[in-house]
Chains A and B, each alone.
Chain A
Amino acid sequence: METTMKPTYIKRKRNGQISIKAGSKSERGIRWTIILFVVLTIAAFMFFDYTGLELWSAIIETGQNLKVMFFQPALNHFTWAEALYQVGVTLGLAVLATVIGSVIAFFLALMAATNLTKEWITKFVRVIVAFIRAVPTVLWVLIFAIAAGLGSEAAVLGMLFHSIAYLVKAFSEAFEEVDKGILEALKATGSGWWHVVTHGVLPSTFTYLLSWTFLRFEINFSVAVAMGAAAGAGGIGFELFMASGFYFDLREVGFITYAILLIAIILEVFSTRLKNRYFPSSMSK
């Protein structure tokens, strides 16, 4: 038989050529993942609900809408001062959720760091955080809106959940990278757990914590816009929702979009600088 003639350690193609692609496990993994993506994408387009869609006219209309929005922005239903105030409200919601979230996350992260706490507590905190992260923020806000009543309290409480989940992960990873020697030295002097945290862990991670908090603030700004639009939390997001959903005023939508874009870009420039300064390799995941 022909197969007995072939040494088993050389892979050949069907026509006898030596295969030059070895195909490690990771390569096969990548190939299968891509195939999976393609299959799922094709399936998705077949599942879609196409009711009332006229693609070409919709695309042309969207093009015209975008033109009006971006080239003729104007304010009709409120003044510049009010617009500024609404942006302030959105920024305020983002600040509150970030600051309160970071304080709570700090304590939870201490419990979630493996080098500071017992293992079962760590696991417990992590499972809870994973659960919180899986619920979309808008659902948290809507649930709190019935449970705690409407108002900024419900919005901030709802936004807090995701901020805490995100920051606990980031903070606890920062804590775990604290030099083991520092902790050991402090323990050797007989200092308690709390002393270890305030004099060993906190000083060496403080700048990281601040920059992670700022990165989260950038995310929270767009979350706050979204909550204004979808959960009635007020601010510029709510105005956007009113302008497009009730007044159908594209020029106002354009103005609001520009305002949001401006602030988002300012925040992004800041956070990119922070990232380059404190996290030279990309750690943003």
Chain B
Amino acid sequence: MSEKVMQKRKWQTTIALVIIIAITYLSAAITNFNFIDGLAAFPTAIGWMFSHLLITQESLEKLPAILGKLNETIFMSIAATTTAAVVSIFLSLMGSKTTSVNGFLSMFARLIASVSRNIPVVAWALILLLSFGQNSITGYLALFVGTVGFLTRAFMESIDEASHSAVEALTATGATYFHIVNKAVLPQSLPQMISWILFMIETNIRSATLVGILTGTGIGYTFDMYYKSMNYNVVALITFSIVIAVIIIELISNYIRKVMM
């Protein structure tokens, strides 16, 4: 690296840092965020957590009910992810460069994926809540729509990455589109796809809590109820059960990934 390049890099870095600091100050001004207050609030908040968020004998009595709700939430996220994955496989086959049928369908698939991904799950939940009402289906559909968008993009990337040469080889033998997809594209990208599905299940359990608070279903609603009635011992218990569930699912999916790869 010559000295000139180093000088130039140094300048770029300095300018980038100055811009970032300026934007940060602007954001703090808009949101009324006070750095010193934030800093001061942190230790008190942590102290509060350790003194109030304790699991007591009394709150443990609520455990069966909580586990039931948690179960519902976990199943909701799994169902949303797997059904979304099925839709995403078709959309990604239409949208990917290696397997696209024609330009129009490809554009269409990408548009659907982009819209459903970029409208936050919260917005979907609130929109669906209006007509579907307070039940599991509302949460399920909100997660489903967001997951379709994300998985379609991920699947398109895995298809493009994994199967280019295999597709070329099969095309040369005169295989039909169905054969190519079935024998080359899917087998080659399947491990990658399953890995994404597992990742999405983990993410969706966390999003399901959020959606649950808004739509009044699952563990999110239970949390909100106890939170609003200021029963912090149960709040702590719910938080810990979510943490344990998420970590167990993470361990299972790591194991599956290890077996697959």
Contacts and interface: CB of A to CB of B under 8 A. Distances in A.
Question: Do these two chains interact?
Answer: yes
Contacts of B83: 41
A244 B33 contact: no
B41 A226 contact: no
Given A40-B78, A136-B209, A264-B118, A92 B191 contact: no
Interface in B91-138: 114-115, 117-123, 126-137
B134 A51 contact: yes
Contacts of A185: none
Nearest to B136: A48
A71 interface: no
A62 to B, nearest CB: 5
B48 A139 contact: no
Contacts of B26: 92
Given A40-B82, A48-B137, A143-B49, A253 B44 contact: no
* Interface size band for A: 35 or more
B131 A65 contact: yes
Contact of B49 (A147, A264, A285): A147
Given A50-B135, A147-B49, A95 B127 contact: no
Interface stretch (B54-62, B164-172, B173-181, B240-248): B240-248
Interface stretch (A117-125, A152-160, A187-195): A152-160
A69 B212 CA distance: 23
Interface in B208-236: 209-210, 213-214, 217, 220, 223, 227, 232, 235
Interface in B28-78: 28, 30-34, 37-38, 41-42, 44-46, 48-49, 52-53, 71-72, 75-76, 78
A138 B213 contact: yes
* Interface size band for B: 35 or more
B259 to A, nearest CB: 4
B118 A261 contact: yes
A243 B137 CA distance: 22
A58 B13 contact: no
- Report which residue of A58, A131, A237 has the largest number of chain B beta carbons within 10 angstroms of its beta carbon: A58
A255 B230 CA distance: 35
A30 B194 CA distance: 8
Contacts of A62: 127-128, 130-132
B118 A40 contact: no
A49 to B, nearest CB: 5
A134 B247 contact: yes
A66 B127 contact: yes
B32 A151 contact: yes
A25 B133 contact: no
B131 A53 contact: no
B197 A53 contact: no
Contact of A130 (B130, B140, B247): B247
Contacts of A261: 115, 118-119
A171 B31 CA distance: 28
Interface string A49-82: 1111101011001100110010000000000000
B260 A30 contact: yes
B45 A147 contact: yes
A229 interface: yes
A55 B138 CA distance: 11
A34 B256 CA distance: 11
B79 interface: yes
Contacts of A225: 120, 122-123
A33 B130 contact: no
B209 A148 contact: no
B41 A52 contact: no
12 contacts: A45-B79, A47-B72, A48-B136, A93-B31, A136-B242, A138-B213, A153-B41, A154-B41, A234-B31, A240-B122, A244-B129, A250-B130
Given A40-B75, A147-B48, A253-B127, 11 more contacts: A26-B259, A44-B79, A47-B72, A47-B75, A58-B132, A89-B31, A96-B24, A142-B223, A146-B48, A153-B37, A153-B41
Interface of A: 25-26, 29-30, 33-34, 37-38, 40-41, 43-45, 47-53, 55, 57-58, 61-62, 65-66, 69, 85, 88-89, 91-93, 95-96, 99, 130-131, 133-139, 142-144, 146-149, 151-154, 156-157, 206, 210, 222, 225-226, 229-230, 234-235, 237, 240-241, 244-245, 248, 250, 253, 256-257, 260-261, 264-265, 268, 281-282, 285
The 10 closest A-B pairs by CB, nearest first: A92-B27, A44-B79, A61-B131, A147-B45, A44-B75, A29-B259, A148-B41, A264-B118, A134-B246, A147-B48
